[in-house]
Each structure stands twice: as C-alpha cells, then as structure tokens.
Structure 1
C-alpha cells in the first residue's frame, strides 16, 4: 500500500506540464545524441547542466535523466544502419543489427531494438521502484576485489563474441586493456605510453576508438567490395518484425532485461557489460548459433534490452547511496548538489516528491521514446537508399565534426584515422574489434580495482580468492576460459563463426 502511495506521489509530480515537457526534451535530445556519431550523453549532459540551474530540482533531473536513457535508444540506430555505434553499449548491437540491415531487414532490427528497449525500461523502472534498497545493499557488498573479479569475468566471457581462434580473441582483449592504460597513472599521475605526445596525457578518447574501429573500418571494408555496397542500399523490405521474429525475441528480451537490471546497479561499465553478457548468453543457449554474427534477431533483442534495463537501474546506487555508477551519474550528482540536495539515503525521506517523481518520469520517458522512435523507423531506413559514395563521406564528416566538438582537439580526429586503419587491418587478419572495445572500456576499471584491492590488503594478492564473492567470480572466469579452449568447444566456435562463401 505504501508503494502505491509513493507511486501516486511520483506520477502526480512527473505528470506536471513542465515536467512532461522537459522529459520529452530530454529523451529527444538523448535520441539525437545517440544517433549522431561522436556525440554522447556525457558530453551533452555536461553542456546542458548550466541551463538547468534555473529549473526546479525535479524538472532538471528529469530532463538530464531523459538524455541518458534516451541515448541508449538512439545509439542502436547508427549501429544497425551504418555499423557505427553511437554509444559504447550499442557496439554489440552492430554485430547482428548491421548484418540484418545489409540483408534488407533494417526495419525489423530497429523495431526490435525499440520494443525491447521499451519493455526492458518499463520492467527495470518497476524494479527500481520496488527493489532499490535491497539491490543497493547487494551492490554495497562489492569491494575492489569483487569488482576486479567481475570485470575479469566479463572480459573472459567476451571471448564468445569474437570470430577466429580463442588466442585472437584474448589478444584483442589484451590490446584493448593496454590501450586503456595510455595516459596518466590513476594514483601517481605519471605519464604512461604517451610517447611525449601531450594529447595522450588524458588517455585515448573512447569516441575516437569506437568511430575508427567500427565506422571507418567498416567503410574501408565496404569500399573494396562492390557487392556489399549494392546489398547495403538495395534490399529493404518489411518495417516490422514477422510473427516468427516476434516469437524469437520474447526470451532474449526477458533474459536481457534481467541481466541488465542486475548489472546496472554495479558501478563502472554496467550497461556495457550487460549488453555484451546478454549477447554471449543468447549465443550460448540459442539453437541458431550459426546465425549469430550474420543477422540473428536475438543478437539485437537481448543486448538492447540489457543496456536499457541497466540504464534505468544504474540510478539505484545514485538515489539510495549517493554513489555514481558512471560519468553521467557523476554529473547527476553535481546536479543534485547544485540544487542544494545531498544525494544518498536521505533523499527518499527528505525529498520524496523528487525521488518518486524521477522514477515515475522514467516510465513516461520510455513511452515517449517509443512514440518518438517507431514512427521514425521509415526515415532511418531510407538512409540506406542513399548512394554509398555519398553516404560514406557524410558519415566520416559527421563523425569527425562530432569527435572534434567534444574537446576541440584535432588529435582526436587523427585518432579516428589511425583506429580506422588499425580496425581494417585487424578485420583482414580475422580479428574482431568488439572484444578490443570492451577491453578498452573496462580496462581502466580493472586496473583501478586491482590496485585498490592490493593497497587495502597491503599487497596481499590472496584477497582475490579469500573473499567469497571474488573467489567465486574468479572460479567462474577460469571455468569460462577452460570451456572456451576445450577442443569440442573450439571446433563449435569455428563452425559458428564460419564466414559465408
């Protein structure tokens, strides 16, 4: 009964005209920054934060939150249509979503992403309302050792995403982790692997890596294959999933929602880890393993549901503990403080209208996103009719402008070229960029928690196995690696990832 009263308070707050208006503005901006290459929710929230200073606190937070979870919707659009993920969590969507677009099933892929995102967002909002305190207590039990083991498990599981041998997949993960260490040491500030380049002191920008590895490399691959370019623009059929497709996506959506809701609570790249884990799970349990990487609709439904569910539940540690799960949540903490509110457990009791109003606005925002995105599917699909010789310069132009606008640094544009060429070479050598990207995103988190755990334990490395949760996660990681390299499993991977003739 108390929950119903709290939700009634939340909806009475969220349904105020100004709050609905700014919720719509937030999700619209979020969709736009997700669609446009090179622009992300972190930069957008940072740029718009000063504008919200004159708003009511709940209005400001509703709009900023809408930008974040709206970007999860938009990020899948370019990932599916042009193999250019607008968000890191959309990178795995490109694996099968773009293949579906090349087969003329772009409408089905986009509709699946939108419907899966809505269902996951709705369920995750309910989870947020019902289970925020218990889930926050679970996350509170994770220390540096547990986070290190969890990230390591996620990296090992990502081996399932890669074509080719297990060794190549592990090499891509290692390369991604190494690229993530470039810059200043997190504790001493000592420059590492910067080669006397001042621009590398702050590390390599994620956007440059993602745009280069997935966008430019894909363009280079398409330019050498006339058949691919024709296929990309000629086969566009139904704009809605078939009955068979709808039957196939129910399970992945529900499983992805569960994974995302659980992993979104954890600090770091929870939404990224959720989407990659969901893909790995779906590929492992599917009876259509051979389709993964070649246009399996489950490879779109699961990850998109997972990253949107994680986007919702990532608010749990912020609202209940005052702990930001990632950079966007850190900016949300700043918004709380600017408006004179201390984020943490007291928000529920001291600012109930804000707490429950923000939760209720997430459901309203998800409805607005479906109403906004589904009618635009036809517009996005028409992008495929643009001649490729016109489309690819536009893609590169938008990517370069978007990347440059983040820090007004030409070095980031040069980095796009470098990683585009590197991605093209890696693809030609039979290596996949997806594990590299995951290693790059989670590498800093892996290093930070490794060092924190060792500092706290005074250099005792046994802390990783003596703590029960950490030890169990490491055991799972070891088992996953062992299973992957078993001869029978290795042979199955080669069959699953066999290239089409």
Structure 2
C-alpha cells in the first residue's frame, strides 16, 4: 500500500502542467539527439545543465531524465534507417535493423524497437519504484566507512565493466579524483592545487568539465568523420507486425528487459553493455542463429529492450545510494547538487515529491516516446538529412553561453576549451572520458567520508575492515580488481601462445 500511495504522490506531481511540458521537452530533445549521429545524451545533458538553474529541481530532473531514456529510442531510428548508431547503445541494432530495412521491413523493425522499448521502460521504472525504498532504508544506516567503501566499489566496478584498457580506465578515475581536490579544503581552509589562480579557489565547476570533455570533444571528433549517409526510406510502407514477428520477438523482449534491468544497476554497466549481452544471448538461444546479421527481428527486439530497461534501472543506485551508474547519471547527480540536493537515501524522505515525481514521469515519458517515434517517423527521416557541419556552430555557441552564464567569467570558457582539447587528445589515445567524470563527481564525497570515518575511529584504519558492511564491500572491490587483472593476464598469455 505504501508503494501505491507513493506512486499516487508521484503521478500527482508528474501530471502538473509544467512537469508534463518538461517531460515532453525531454522526450523530444532525447529523440532528436538519438536520431542525429554525432550527438549523445551525455553531451546534451552537459550542455543543458546551465538551463536547470532557472527551473524547479523536479522539472529539471524530469527533463534531463527524459533526454537520457529518449535517446535510447531515437538511436534505433538512425541505426535501422541509416546504419549509423545515433546513440552508442544502438550499435548492435545496426546489425539486423538495417538489414531488415534493406529487405523492405524497416517499418516492422521500427515498430518492434519502439514497442520493446516501451515495455522495457515500464518494467525498468517499476523495478526502480519497487527496489528503491528497500535500498534507501538499508543505506540510511550506512556510516562514513560504509559510504567510502561503497563509492570505491562503484568506481572499481565502472573500471571493470568499461571497454578498453583497465589501466587507462583506472588512470582516468584517478585523474578525476585529483581534479576534485582542486580548491579550498573545507576542513582546513587551505587552498589546494590552485597555483595562485584566484578563479580556482572554489574548485573547478562540474559543468565546465562536463561540457569540455563531452561537448567540445564530441564536436572535434565528429568533424573528423565523413558525413555521408545512405537512407533507407522508400520501404517504410507498413508498421504492422505479423504473427510470426510477434512470436519470435516476444521472448526476446522479455529476456532483453530482464537482462537490461539487472545490468543497468551496475556502475559502468548501463545500456551499452546490456544491448551487447542481450544480442549475444539471443543469438545463442536462437533456433536459427544463421539469420542474425541478415535481418532477424530478435536482433532488434532484444538489444532495444535491454538498453531502455538499463536506462531506467540505472537511476536506482543514483537515487538510493548516491552512486552514478554511468556518465549520464553522474551529470544528473550534478544537476541535483546544483539545486543543493544531496543524492542518496535521504532524497526519498527529504524530497519525496522529486523522487516519486521523477519515477512517475518515466512512465509518462515512455508513452510519449512511442507517440513521437512511430507516427512522426517522416519528420525524423527528414532530420537525418541535416549535415553535421550545420549543427556544430550552433552547438558550440550554446555551450559557450551556458558556461559563461554559470560564473559570468571568461576564465570558465578558457577552462572549458582546455578540457575540450584535453578530452580530444585523450580520446585519440583511447582513454574513455566517462571514468574521469565519475571520479570527479565521487572524489570529493569519497575524500569526505574517508576523513570522517578516520575522525570517528580516532585514526584507526582497521575500522574500514572490522565493520561488517564496509569490510564486505572492500573485499568485493579487491575481488573485482583481482578478477579484472587475472582475466587480462590470461588473455595476454593466450594471445602470446597463439602467436608462437
């Protein structure tokens, strides 16, 4: 009954005119950035953070969340019609979605992607509503030692699940932690790593870092790419699914939804990992695996369901534990901090309207996205023809104005440009920016809880191990690191053996 009462409060908040409007805006913008290759939810949310200063916290989060899960919908349209993933999690959809379009079944591919995403989004939101109160009640009893261990586990899990070199991912996390220490120390009042620059005395603004390493860097990276796109539009004659389509795709949607809902909770897991895992499982379970990559409808249904379920469930650790599951939820945490709201278990009790209003808005947003994606497919097809070279000047102006509006300082703009160039160089060297952002967000909180735990224990480091919960979390963290490096070592040995 408590859950129903909470949801009633949430829908009462979400159905207000302002919040419905911002939910629609988030869904539309999310669909747009998912459809237009070269843009993504991380860069877009980073660019829109300055706007949230003028909004109510609930409206701001509803809009930003809509952009995140809306991009998962929009990315499938580009993947199916152009063979370009509008969003990273739609990479797998290209394999079979584009082949279905070439065979004249683009309408069916778009339909199963939208309906699968709707079902997965609703289930993922239901999971969030059901699990969040229990997790929050457990987390309320956490002390400084437990929060330190939990945040450390979150950072390590993000490294383990990240693609690419673990050493590079760890170095980016450490770099983010170091950036978070710049500014005036709250406890001692001493300035740290400011190098005599007055503007750094209050630290580096989160929005400046986010817009630099995601906004500016994305512009530079996309300008390198060719802007040739082969549209498949002449074959969208029907959106209706056949009985065979429903029979084959229904189990794939269910499995993808379940997998995405679980993996989305893990730090670093998210929509991308979920979509790849769902596709792999469907191919192994299929009675006709030879059809995958040639237009199998399960190859669209499973990853699209998985990435949307993961997008919804990734809010669980952010809202209940204050741990971002990915770069986008890290940005949403930043938006909450802008409004002086500390992410974590206290949000549910201190801001119930925000918490339950956000959850209720996700159901509304998922329904709006189906309405936007299927009947308006002709409009999205026309937008796919817009060359990126016409978009980036407007994006650059928007980013610059947004950063300047935060502190009314040109120094922030120079700093953003510096982070943009740094992010571009790091991307060329195959360093992922997401671990840097997670480290930057969690760094100050990690340090604060570490120091408070030592103050409580009178400087006794054993307090982190002797307390059951923190000791267990630290043991799990060490286990993940051992598993990571042992698997990498095994892969190197196998590759060396094959070369011999």
Give the TM-score normalised by the residue count of structure 1.
0.66
Distance 1:95 1:31 in 2: 18
Q: Which moved more, 1:481-490 or 1:105-114?
A: 105-114
2:443 equivalent to 1:443? yes
Q: Distance in 2 between matches of 1:248 and 1:489?
A: 34
Aligned equivalents of 1:380, 1:201: Cα separation in 2: 46
Q: Distance in 2 between matches of 1:437 and 1:490?
A: 30
Aligned mates of 1:437, 1:356 — CA distance in 2: 27
Are 1:67 and 2:39 counterparts? no
Equivalent position of 1:254 in the other structure: 258
Partner of 1:229: helix, strand, or coil? coil
1:275-290 map, 5 Å: 276=269, 279=272, 287=280
Report what 2:293 is aligned to.
none
Q: Does 1:210 align with 2:210?
A: yes
Contact 2:46–2:215 (8 Å) recurs in 1: no
SS at match of 1:484: helix
Contact 2:155 2:267 in 1 (8 A): no
**1:270 aligned residue:** none
Aligned in 2, Cα 1:362/1:283: closer, same or farther, shift over 3 Å?
closer
CA deviations on 1:148-203 (whole Å, 9 max, x unpaired) are 22222222222245555332222122112212222222433432222222332332
Cα offset, 1:145, TM superposition? 1.7
CA distance in 2 between counterparts of 1:80 and 1:179 reads 36
The answer for unaligned runs of 5 or more in structure 1 is 50-59, 83-92, 264-272, 289-295, 319-324, 335-341, 496-501
Aligned counterpart, 2:312: 308
Q: What SS does the corresponding residue of 1:230 show, helix, strand or coil? A: coil
Q: Contact conserved, 1:12 with 1:357, CA < 8 A, in 2?
A: yes
> For structure 2, which runs of at least 5 residues remain unmatched after alignment?
34-42, 79-85, 282-298, 323-331, 496-500
C-alpha displacement of 1:65: 5.8
Counterpart for residue 468 of structure 2: 468
2:329 matched to which residue of 1? none
In the alignment, is residue 21 of structure 1 matched against residue 17 of structure 2? yes
1:275–1:307 Cα contact (<8 Å) kept: no
Preserved CA contact (<8 Å) 1:79 1:97: yes
Local SS of the residue matching 1:187: coil
Partner of 1:229: 226
Q: Distance in 2 between matches of 1:11 and 1:164?
A: 40
Root mean square deviation of aligned Cα: 5.1
Between 34-43 and 300-309, report the one with greater CA deviation.
34-43
Q: CA 1:386 to 1:284, structure 2 compared with 1: closer, same or farther past 3 Å? A: closer
What is the CA distance between 1:21 and its match in structure 2?
A: 2.8
- In 2: Cα distance, 1:472 partner to 1:493 partner: 31
Q: Determine the structure 2 residue equivalent to 1:416.
A: 416
Shift in Å, 1:114: 7.0
**1:485: how far off?**
1.5
TM-score (ref. length: structure 2): 0.66
Tell me, yes or no, if the aligned pair for 1:7 and 1:360 is still in contact at 8 Å.
Answer: no
Output the CA distance in 1 between the equivalents of 2:494 and 2:438: 22
- With over 3 angstroms needed to count, the CA separation of the structure-2 counterparts of 1:459 and 1:77, relative to structure 1, is farther
Deviation at 1:27, TM superposition (A): 0.7
